[in-house]
Amino acid sequence: MSKTERFSDKVAFKIASIVVLSAIVAVFTLIIRIPVAPTRGYINFGDVAIFFVAFIFGPVSAFFAGGLGTAIADLVGGYAQWAPISFLVHGLQGFLVGFVYNIFTKENLHVNIFLQGFLCFLVGALVMVSGYFFAGLLMVGPGTALLEIPGNILQNLAGVIGGMALAAAVQKAYPPVNNFKW
């Protein structure tokens, strides 16, 4: 097999992986939705999948899967007005969580798993809560945008806890998954 063939196989694998991971994020986002009436948004479990992708597949995959998956869920689920915001906010959230997580794994920093999870939670929550807050300021006003903050913090907390648990289970069940990070 030539270098070109190997390169194209890797690119095809990465594209296919991102498509599948985006679908997983969309399903996690759509499966349970708790409407937030004042903001015309909803709380969901999409962050579990985004954190999982960030931990297992890395920041680039988490950017595309988190952004595309949540935007698709918004379009399909009747929240089209939030789709571009979801793409940017959750894409950036996934990228930065994956980046922070990679710092600990690539540098072989032996940090307590709870501290690692807490730092990933802080980064993810900061991006997601502030992103939706500023979008909410423009779309629904300051008072209403403030109402969504506690739910978004809880969504991130569920995301990091569920994402870490899911990542640990998948790594234990299928150790070669650790070679899929990019």
36-85, pLDDT tens digit by residue? 877 777 899 999 999 999 999 999 999 999 999 999 999 999 999 999 99
Tally the C-alpha atoms within 13 A of residue 87's C-alpha that lie toward its C-beta. Answer: 9
Q: Kindly state the tokens that stand for 23.
A: 């679908």
Q: Are 44 and 158 in contact (CB under 8 A)?
A: no
User: How does 90-120 read in b/e, with b if 16+ C-beta sit within 10 Å?
Assistant: bbbbbbbbbbbbeebeeeeeeeeeeebbebb
Average pLDDT for residues 89-110, to the nearest whole number?
88
Q: Are 167 and 55 in contact (CB under 8 A)?
A: yes
User: In this predicted structure, what is the pLDDT of residue 41?
Assistant: 79
Phi and psi based region of residue 9 (left: phi greater than 0; alpha: psi -120 to 50; beta: remaining)? alpha
Domains and CATH numbers, the chain: 3-179 (1.10.1760.20)
pLDDT tens digits for range 122-155: 999 999 999 999 999 999 899 999 999 999 999 9
